[in-house]
Amino acid sequence: MGVRVSLLSLFASVVLSGCWSAAEPSLRSAVVIRNASTVALTDVHVITAPGDELTDASIAAGATIAARAVHAVYGNIHVTARVGNQPVSVIPIEGFADGFNTRLPDGTYTVVLVVHTEPDGIHWLEASVDPGGA
């Protein structure tokens, strides 16, 4: 009985030590945000991966925000913002599922945000992830 409990304890400690770490994962990528629009964005939220959200109260037209560290960057990101009183967003239909939305290699990326305005005044947002910092 004592050997069985000892083996069970040993097995449990090996399994737990391989699955859990108290250390925070390292920040491996950096993201620069550039508003390539002719209008300012406010209440900006850029989600590059699950658990990685960058927020800015406002980004002026043509402005670039300095690089910030994130754990990961996917090819299609989730962005919400406001142009005046109108909310605009880009939401990847596939979410952050590997195989549908590819996680990019660690590195520095520029998120380029472009607001388009229709003749009736309605705005819509385009977001792209480009390699390298601005």
- Residues 42-63 have pLDDT tens digits of 999 999 999 999 999 999 999 9
Sheet-wide strand order for 52-59: 52-59, 41-49, 78-83, 86-90
- List, in order of start, the domains of the chain with CATH numbers: 26-131 (2.60.40.2890)
Q: What type of residue sits at position 125?
A: L
Dist CA 115 CA 79 (whole Å): 12
pLDDT in tens, 96-128: 988 899 999 999 999 999 999 999 999 999 999
